Amino acid sequence: MRLGGPVFDKYQDPDGWAQAVRKLGYSAAYCPIGAEVADDVVRAYERAAQKADIVIAEVGAWSNPISPDDEKRKAALEKCRLQLALADRIGARCCVNITGSRGTQWDGPAAENFTEETFEMIVETTRGIIDDVKPTRTWFTLETMPWAYPDSADSYVRLIQAIDRDRFAAHLDPVNLVCSPQRYYANGKLIVECFEKLGPYLKSCHAKDIYLHPKLMTHLDEVRPGQGELDYATFLRELSKLPGVPLMLEHLPNAEEYRQAAEHIRSVGRGLGLSFA
């Protein structure tokens, strides 16, 4: 199994980056460079990753390609194309974005997010990105979300079937799917369902945790792994069946928080007889 996260140490070159990743005990990493970087530099980072047995898990394309603002939508589409091309150049497992939002906040809730019209927009937009770039070594993926498609394993399968592109795959963030007390208390079952239905398509996963506050109304907060109730035993057990799929830590404020999160995940893994490369 492979665990990864951000790198905080300064480095001067690709080998220094790889050493910084390995110093953290990681065997997976986020793409360390941007789309503007020259091909020879991209190749140098790819070689450094291969030499250190590091998988470049994902290239983020965080933007809103279905924005109601034409300029923002066009900029988002261009970013998606550039980042997908970068993922293909460096040999990352995937390029990942969210589907976006029909509201004013790029990743926010909106009533229109769950309409059939929006579903069709997502299908056509995603097809266009993949068809323009024509990746051969990577996949374009959409992160699961609480208030936008894909908001369940079934809606993700429906998207995969509707988009109908070989280079479209799946990305799983189970915490983002825990959007009710019902899902919170049955999140292990939710995780199993996701792996059963999305396993053949999965390219990368995010590692977070979630906590339900005991006050009205429903308050769910993202927290550091180990401080919430995500069923990490089930998560790791299912993930271990797909040894090529990396687990990536995110959204923590500093290196110490990442260290504690990684140690919690490794500890749960040890209890199951599982280990990370």
State the residue range of the domain holding 52: 3-270
The pLDDT confidence band at residue 25, using thresholds 50, 70 and 90, is: very high
Report which residue type is found at 220: L
Predicted pLDDT at 58: 99
What pLDDT, on the 0 to 100 scale, is given for residue 154?
99
Per-residue pLDDT at 151? 98
The distance of Cα 5 from the centroid of its chain, to the nearest Å, equals 11
Residue 276, domain member (yes or no): no
237: which residues sit within 8 A by CB, 6+ positions away?
272, 274
Q: For residue 83, is it within any domain? A: yes
d(CA 277, CA 273): 13
Type of residue found at 47: R
pLDDT score for 52: 99
Residue 44: inside a domain: yes
Alpha-carbon distances, residue 3 vs 20, 109, 159 (angstroms): 14, 30, 27
150 upstream amide cis, omega within 30 of 0 = yes
Question: What's the CATH number where 32 sits?
Answer: 3.20.20.150
> Is 105 domain-assigned?
yes
Domain contains 9: yes
In-domain check, residue 277: no
H/E run at residue 142: strand 140-142
Give the per-residue pLDDT at 230.
99
**Count of domains in the chain?**
1
Contact 167, 127 (CB under 8 A): no
pLDDT tens digits, one per residue of 202-236: 999 999 999 999 999 999 999 999 999 999 999 99
Residue pLDDT, tens place only, 234-261: 999 999 999 999 999 999 999 999 999 9
Query: What stretch of H or E contains 41?
Result: helix 39-51
CA-CA distance, 256 to 196, in Å (whole number)?
Answer: 34
pLDDT in tens, 137-173: 999 999 999 999 999 999 999 999 999 999 999 999 9
* Interval 179-194 mean pLDDT: 99
Give residue 28's pLDDT: 99
pLDDT of residue 15: 99
The answer, as to whether pTM is greater than 0.75, is: yes
Asked if the structure places residue 208 within a domain, the reply is yes
pLDDT tens string 63-109: 999 999 999 999 999 999 999 999 999 999 999 999 999 999 999 99
Report yes or no on 50 lying in a domain: yes
